[in-house]
Amino acid sequence: MFSNKGKVLVTGGAGFIGSHQVDLLLKEGYKVVVVDDLSTGQKENLSEDVPFYQVDIRDAELAEVFKKEKPDYVFHFAAQINVNHSVADPIFDADVNIIGSLNLLDNCVDYGVKKIMFSSTGGALYGEAEIVPTPEEYPCAPLSPYGIAKLSVENYIRFYAENKGLNYGIMRYANVYGPRQNSKGEAGVVAIFAEKMLAGEHPVIHGDGHQTRDFVYVSDVVAANLLVLQSDRNDTYNVGTGRQTTVNEIFKLVQECLDKDFNPKHVDVFSGQKVSCLSAKKIKENLGWSPKVSMEDGVEKTVAWFINRT
């Protein structure tokens, strides 16, 4: 596809959110190039005519991609995405999520990228916040190496903006869900419940299931990202709905979509955050974004995708 909107390099573009971003960019008339090591991404998430490089963002080979493709913009989704893995192996998490990101940032500066868009995290940065829904200015107190690494990269990006003139948008996501979600690599409870129930297994709920999350549908997320890419300011935004949904409620929604009757197995152990919900007031006021897809519709669309895949 030819366009005059510029070329976008998407790291992690074969993954869940990344591949949806690729679809939207193509639809909007951008040229797109994807870099993904396929550790969690799936090549089938991408159209065959999208230039694809199977490259680890930590590798020197990344510079060859920049040299050849000369992207105008970069979306950075590539990451070690499992919070539990980050706790078990903080060094590996930091190697991929911090060192890999620094390699990417250096290439952005070396090859004159106009703007980088970084996929950060909301829930993992704010911890057990006293203000809910939580705004961007709330103090960051990450409780996991994953959250610590994301915050570190945010700070590096601000350093690169100040010292090297690299423009940026930092996106702090709530719990993103939707088609193509990888239930094995991410904390995607909608995907996990759908896969388990379709396989005839009883899903496991950690604790009493009353812990809440802010679930935001993937098409709303990539739309927010595009708005920030096209804006002329460097800024940090939460992307969420401001609505809390319990894990038990998600279980019931998935069950209703499948018309199945399961009893969840409750496991006593739950060590994560009890409440996580983001305020998206800032992005609404600055850029006019608000989520369009309701929880009920989003779960229905996601479950339909999992049914079609089985």
CB atoms within 10 A of CB 88: 11
**b/e sequence 135-161, b meaning 16+ C-beta within 10 Å:** ebebebebbbbbbbbbbbbbeebeebe
Locus of tokens 């809390």: 244
Q: Which of 133, 132, 150, 164 is nearest to 234 (CA)?
A: 164
For residues 244 and 128, give the distance between their C-alpha atoms in angstroms, rounded to a whole number.
14
**b/e sequence 172-189, b meaning 16+ C-beta within 10 Å:** bbbbbbbbbbebebbbbb
For residues 31 and 75, give the distance between their C-alpha atoms in angstroms, rounded to a whole number.
13
For residues 291 and 119, give the distance between their C-alpha atoms in angstroms, rounded to a whole number.
17
Please tell me the chain's helix, strand, coil percentages from 3-state DSSP, rounded to the nearest 5.
45, 15, 40
Q: What is the 3-state secondary structure (H, E, C) of 162-184?
A: HHHCCEEEEEEECEEECCCCCCC
Is 126 a residue of the active site? no
The answer to whether the Cα torsion of 264, 268, 269, 270 is positive or negative is positive
Of 146, 160, 173, 177, which one is the catalytic site residue? 146
Strand bridging mode 73-76 / 115-121: parallel
For residues 161 and 227, give the distance between their C-alpha atoms in angstroms, rounded to a whole number.
19
Catalytic annotation, residues: 146
